[in-house]
Structure 1
Amino acid sequence: MARTRIAGITVGQAPRTDMTADLESRLAPTLELVQYGALDDLTASEVERDLAPEPGDEVLVSRMRDGSQVTFSGTKVLPLVQARIDQAEREGARAIIVLCTGSFPEMRHEVPLVYPQPLFHAVARTLASGRRVAVMVPEPSQVEQAKTWWGDHGVEVDVVSASPYAGIDGVRKTAATLRGSSDAFLCLDCMGFTTQMRDAAREASGLDVLLPRTLVASVVSELLG
């Protein structure tokens, strides 16, 4: 029996081999994940040259195909994301997941288009019941924008930073600084964080942990699986 095609669009390069197993573990066996990358046609040097954040731009962090990290403007990458949405729909996707917890405007689409950020924030707000939550973002330059985004969705946050693309040890070390805090739980605020990092952060911080990649895959599986 043919499986239903689900598109995963990373703002970096596809395939996101660091993400595939965690996503597929939450998808129903009737669903097939096909990945697309906004930066697939660019080199790292071209990303630095053409997509560098301007003052006031949203800062996004993602992964290139070779595993290296890149930082770029959320505004400048939008046309590339839209091109991949259009391609995924032409190729038969029944739903599309944008594999980034950044803030996105409404984009052109015909099938369900799932942005992790509003879903992630809504679940966290409900679970927190007015308490402050800890949030981990990849880069120090993202701390203030994270406070703004979460605050706009009604969640008080304590923000720390550690890149998922620099390995699990940094995640564990930063999570340990939250041990003994009064935060309700910890949100790993990037689709780059893995289930192994979630488990390490939980052990190091003593907090429960919410991971966006498995959350969003579970929701899509419930919808179409």
Structure 2
Amino acid sequence: MSKQSTLAIVTIGQAPRLDLHADLAVLLGSNVKVLEFGALDGFTLEQINTQYPTATKRDILVSRMQDGRQVQISEQDLEPLLEQAVHKAEAAKPDAILVLCTGDLPEFNDVQVPVLSPKKIVEHFFAGISNAVTLIVMSPDAAQMENTHQRWLGNGFDVQCLSGSPYLNDGGREHAAQQAKELQGNLIYLDCMGYQLAQRDDIAHIAGKSVITPREIIFNTVRLLLK
């Protein structure tokens, strides 16, 4: 029997990420032990909204509280909290650490365990297929769309942007999928680690287009690395 590897997952929200577990079983398999840590562990949603308001901030990130509610925080406010969570994960001595976010992250150069950056992995993936796709990108919140467009433009993709949260059942994803149906792009990328495979399938059914999540790209890469 091969040795079981250990992956520490650090969410920018709160652990455990129950919305992730079913997809992990499919994408990682049984040979990787998962430990979970959260940058916002120990906070209430009300404390976060009071201490880290986002109304005047740019670079907003969206994640999930332990009870399933959506939470928002700016990259600037998140960074010191995320660093603490990564160092806590490092102390557990995993084989690798994955930060559960596709946004811009610190380098974590002082961490003695490999820290995997979803953003970099995703960018390399799309660079390899850039000649074959015209991208439509869905973000959790409309406030992220301008930054999303600029970020992808910097990577050589003039993407069309939509919004629909993976954490809310407000019809936003379905509305965005209907919008995507009328656009010219041939691939929808769901630009948040919160999007589930079941949500991917629903969006693909409505839009009539191929849809891919960062979970697929990231966890397939992790599975290969931790073989």
Mapping 1:26-105, distance limit 5 Å: 26-53=27-54, 55=56, 57-105=58-106
Cα distance between partner residues in 2 of 1:196 and 1:95: 27
| Bigger shift: residues 87-96 or 45-54 | 45-54
Aligned-partner residue type, residue 61 of structure 1: V
Higher deviation after alignment, 45-54 or 90-99: 45-54
Following superposition, the deviation at residue 114 of structure 1 comes to 1.2
Deviations 1:143-202 (A, max 9, x none): 001011111222221000011111284312211211142213000011111001100111
Letter in structure 1 aligned against 2:159: V
Code of the residue aligned with 1:77 in structure 2: it is: L
Out of 7-16 and 165-174, give the one that drifted further. Answer: 165-174
Q: CA deviation at 1:22?
A: 0.7
Which range moves more in the overlay, 89-98 or 172-181? 172-181
What does the per-residue CA deviation read over 1:59-82, in whole Å, with 9 as the maximum and x for residues that have no partner? 011110111111111111111111
Change (3 A) 1:196 1:169: farther
- Give 3-state SS (helix, strand or coil) of 2:145's partner: helix
Structure 2 SS opposite 1:24: helix
Structure 1 residues 171-186: aligned runs within 5 Å: 171-186=173-188
Give the distance between the partners of 1:174 and 1:53, measured in 2 at CA.
Answer: 23
- Corresponding residue number in structure 1 for 2:211: 209
* Structural mapping, 1:101-180, within 5 Å: 101-107=102-108, 108-129=110-131, 131-167=133-169, 169-180=171-182
Kindly state the Cα deviation for residue 51 of structure 1 after the two structures are TM-superposed. 1.9
- The answer to whether the 8 A contact 1:52-1:72 is kept is yes
Give SS of 1:136's match: strand
Whichever residue aligns with residue 86 of structure 1, its letter is H
For the residues of structure 1 that align with 2:71 and 2:53, how far apart are their CA atoms? Answer: 10
RMSD value, Cα? 1.8
SS of residue matched to 2:90: helix
Cα deviation for residue 55 of structure 1 reads 3.9
CA shift for structure 1 position 131 = 4.7
Per mean C-alpha deviation after superposition, the further-off stretch among 103-112 and 92-101 is: 103-112
Question: After TM superposition, which residue ranges in structure 1, 4 or more long, deviate above 6 angstroms?
Answer: none
Query: Is the 1:101–1:117 Cα contact (8 Å) retained in structure 2?
Result: yes
Asked whether the 8 Å contact 2:133–2:185 carries over to 1, the reply is yes
Contact 2:57 2:74 in 1 (8 A): no
Match for 2:224 among 218, 222, 225?
A: 222
Gaps of 5+ in 2: none
Code of the aligned partner of 2:176: T
- Structure 1 unmatched runs, 5+: none
Whole-angstrom distance in 1 between the partners of 2:198 and 2:24: 13
Question: Letter of the aligned partner of 1:70 in structure 2?
Answer: V
Query: In structure 1, how many angstroms separate the alpha carbons of the residues matched to 2:226 and 2:133?
Result: 33
Instruction: Judge conservation of contact 2:165–2:172 (CA < 8 Å) in 1.
Output: yes
Identity %: 32
> TM-score scaled by structure 2?
0.92
Aligned-partner residue type, residue 10 of structure 1: T
What is the rounded CA distance, in whole Å, between the counterparts of 1:76 and 1:173 in structure 2?
A: 31
Q: 1:168 to 1:29 in 2, by over 3 A?
A: farther
Q: How many residues align?
A: 225
